[in-house]
Structure 1
Amino acid sequence: MAEILMKAAAFVAIIFMGYLLRKKGFFKEEDFHVLSKIVLKITLPAAIVANFSGVDLQASLLILSVLGLGGGLMLITSAYLAAGKNREEKAFFMLNTSGYNIGNFTMPFAQSFLGPAGVITTSLFDTGNSFICLGGAFSAAKMVKEGEGKISLIPIIKTLVRSIPFDAYITMTALSLLHISLPAAVITFSEVVSGANAFIAMLMMGVGFKISGDTSQKGKIVKILAVRYGV
């Protein structure tokens, strides 16, 4: 337990360090986007590849992808019902209540505390969650705001295909189910790069941490958080 608490404290310390470095001018606000690109396009995909490699994936675990999608749909529906009658407010609630930040936040913890098994199960959950985060919630909110009667799947699919972590999820899941292994050089390279994922992800959150808004928004924020954590 002491080791787990120390590691968790180290993560919090890295976030705090990123925040202090930005306040001191070491990082600029726009550096958050650079760090985000490094995580989402380099270190996170590498972590997925490294942890999936050599694992005999059971087909029954694919139910986690269904849970990821179902959880997002449940949050969108709850947000729609909890908001007022105003279309813009409903759309605002739907966008800010749904989805789980798996890649930037959950994955570093799963990678550090739970090892390959944690990364694989989290990745499978995020495969379903990606349909919500990478276009599903936005499309549903737009439909509600504009009063349209349908959700367009084509933009969602295009966004998913362009997402490197999602492509890594799908590719590595398929290879694991087919019992196909990547070359040793690819796995070794991925393991080295993935070692930086947790650190850069935590540092990125510290650099990007910023509180904004006015007092009139506090009521909506409290209501959104109540719906999200209540569900």
Structure 2
Amino acid sequence: QSCKISPNEDISPASPKMNLPVVAPEVMRTASERHQKGLMSPYIYQILTQGEMKLPVLLEDENHKEFPSIHLLYRPVRQMVYAIVFNLHHYMYMATKGKDKAVRTEKSEVPDLRVREWVWSKNNPYQSPDMVKAEQIGWGVPTIQRLWFGGSIDDKRRRLRAFLTCMRSDTPLMLNPAYVPQHLLVMATVLRYIMSCNKPVLRKPELDAIIVQAFSPELMNAQYLQELQVRHETSSLQ
């Protein structure tokens, strides 16, 4: 079972209070209630209240560095999530608006939003955190209140677009059922994100095998599967 972080638990050896943007009461209340009931990732509450998260130790081969650490692989996703949950785009918008009017207020200040990520490694066994900067997602994403609680069709579309953007999959074809069956949308976005990374994680034959097993309509045909034969090939060493 995964370890849940209680609201009062300090996850680091020495964690001074982070200077975080103000979070709307309804957002904090919802995050707290869902956190206590186990209905939301425990990281969300920890990020909103403490500005940090402790990523678990993984069983990874440190002798073969051709594959990146999974925590570092998905760090760009987390950076955009930090910007969304703390309304970084809204602060940028208010700062631009205040600059145009030559009026500086507390709301027009853009916070230097960074989150402490505690990532275990052989050289750094939870001794010091990485200060990870939030990154904007590139379009006018609504506030977290609107994304969480908005009930209109446009709100639902923006929620989906925010997810697709974080996964580097904000393209029209991703929402076209002729190309991506909607029940496989999450898997398709994960594969697209992995293949977009600089360091290779999957080889093309491996990607093809995953896509065939997940997307092939013939796999739902019992008669086809019954008659399917796998050709066994061997190669001799020259």
TM normalised by structure 1 equals 0.26
TM normalised by structure 2 equals 0.26
Greater C-alpha radius of gyration = 2
**Structure with the bigger percentage of strand:** 2
**Structure with the bigger percentage of helix:** 1
